[in-house]
Amino acid sequence: MNMISRDERKKQKGINKFINSFTYPIKGLRYAYRNEQNLAVDVGVAILVILCGLIFKISGFEWAILALTIGLVISCELINTAIEAVVDLVTEEYHPLAKVAKDTSAAAVFIFAIVAVIVGIIIFLPKIIILFR
């Protein structure tokens, strides 16, 4: 990965700085999608949820809740990836605190994934029940 130092970024002006403010997050997304299996799963589930939203013609409010939920799950996964990378940068050896950092960041993603499932159930279960009546 071609990295520009923080000092070099401070020297950038105008349009280059503005463009780079978009290219760095895109590179981060690309890296995480290619290297983190759970992010690929999250994106796949998000696509299925969006398709279900289209099929069941959910309301604008429900779309807003789903968009926030999907965005937060993916954001949690990206933060988890960043924490794991920083821990790996600091030490490749086993350290109990490194394990705590990795495990708790993974737990944060897990908890929000459970919340996302609950949100999906609240939004889609009534529509599924109506479909089978």
Tell me which residues are annotated as active site. Answer: 77
Report DSSP letters for 17-80, one per residue.
HHHHHHHHHHHHHHHHHHH-HHHHHHHHHHHHHHHHHHHHT--HHHHHHHHHHHHHHHHHHHHH
d(CA 86, CA 133): 52
97-122 burial: b if 16+ Cβ within 10 Å, else e:
ebeebeeebbeebeebbeebeebbee
- Token output for 133: 């009546």
d(CA 50, CA 47): 5
